[in-house]
Amino acid sequence: MPRTDTLARQESRLAYRLISPTLLIVLVVVVLPVIWTISLAFQDVRLINLRDAGFFGEYNLDNFSTVFGSSGFWSSLWITVVYTVGATLGSIAIGLVAALALRRPFRGRGLLRAAMLLPYVAPVVAATFVWSVALNPQFGIVNAWGTRFLGWDEPVPFLSQRDYSVGLFGVDVTVPLALLTVIAFEAWRYFPFAFLFLIARLQALPGELDEAAVVDGTSIWQRFRHITLPQLMPVIALLTILRFIFTFNKFDDVYLLTGGGAGTEVVSIRVYEFLTARTDIGAAAAQSLVLAAVLTVFIAVYLRTAGARGETS
Partner 1 sequence: MSVDTVATAPPRTPSPPRRRRSRARSREERVWGTLRVVTIVVLALVTIVPFLYMLVLSVRPIAEVLLDPGRLWVSPSEFTADTYREVLTSVDDGGQGFLQYMGNSALVATVTVIVTLVASILGAYAVSRLAFRGRGASGALFLVVYLFPPILLAIPLFVLFSQLSLRGNLLALAIVYVAQTVPVAIYMLRNYFATIPVSLEEAALIDGCTRFGVIRRISLPLSMPSLIATGLYVFMIAWNEFLFALLFLVERRDNWTVSLGLSRLSGSIEVPTTVLMAGSVVLTVPIIALFFLAERMLVEGLTSGAEKG
Q: List binders of partner 1 among 250-279 (CB under 8 A).
A: 251-252, 256, 267-268, 271-272, 275
Whichever of 179 and 281 has its CB closer to partner 1, that residue is 281
Per-residue string for binding with partner 1, 131-150, x by CB under 8 A? xxxx---xxxx-xxx--x--
What is the C-alpha separation between 280 and 72, in angstroms, rounded?
15
The span of 82-90, 158-166, 169-177, 286-294 binding partner 1 (CB under 8 A) equals 286-294
Q: Which residue in the set 200, 300, 301, 308 belongs to the binding site for partner 1 (CB under 8 A)?
A: 200
Q: Does position 160 bind partner 1 by CB under 8 A?
A: no
How many residues make contact with partner 1 (CB under 8 A)? 113
Name 280's bridge partners: 46
Whichever of 179 and 267 has its CB closer to partner 1, that residue is 267
DSSP string, 44-58: --BSTTGGG--SS--
Q: Residues 43 to 82: which contact partner 1 by CB under 8 A?
A: 50-51, 53
- Least distance in Å: CB of 28 to partner 1? 8
Whichever of 179 and 187 has its CB closer to partner 1, that residue is 187
Length of the chain counted residue by residue: 313
Query: Is 232:194 a contact under the CB 8 Å cutoff?
Result: no
Q: Does position 301 bind partner 1 by CB under 8 A?
A: no
Per-residue string for binding with partner 1, 17-36, x by CB under 8 A? -xx-xx--xx-xxxxxxx-x
Q: Residues 205 to 244: which contact partner 1 by CB under 8 A?
A: 205-206, 209, 213, 216-220, 222-223, 226-227, 230-231, 234-235, 238, 241-243
Q: Three-state SS for 280?
A: strand
- Least distance in Å: CB of 240 to partner 1? 11
Distances (CA, A) of 186 to 60, 153, 215, 223: 38, 27, 41, 30
CA-based nearest residue to 63, from 269, 244, 278, 248: 278
- Least distance in Å: CB of 130 to partner 1? 5
What is the C-alpha separation between 178 and 164, in angstroms, rounded?
9
- Least distance in Å: CB of 172 to partner 1? 28
Q: CB neighbours of 203 closer than 8 A, spacing ≥ 6?
A: 103
Q: Residues 83 to 102: which contact partner 1 by CB under 8 A?
A: 97-98, 100-102
Whichever of 264 and 268 has its CB closer to partner 1, that residue is 268
Query: Is 137:143 a contact under the CB 8 Å cutoff?
Result: yes
Query: Residue 110 burial by CB count (10 A; 0-12/13-18/19+): exposed, middle or buried?
Result: exposed
Q: Three-state SS for 266?
A: coil
Whichever of 9 and 174 has its CB closer to partner 1, that residue is 9
- Least distance in Å: CB of 111 to partner 1? 9
Whichever of 161 and 218 has its CB closer to partner 1, that residue is 218
Q: CB neighbours of 38 closer than 8 A, spacing ≥ 6?
A: 285, 289
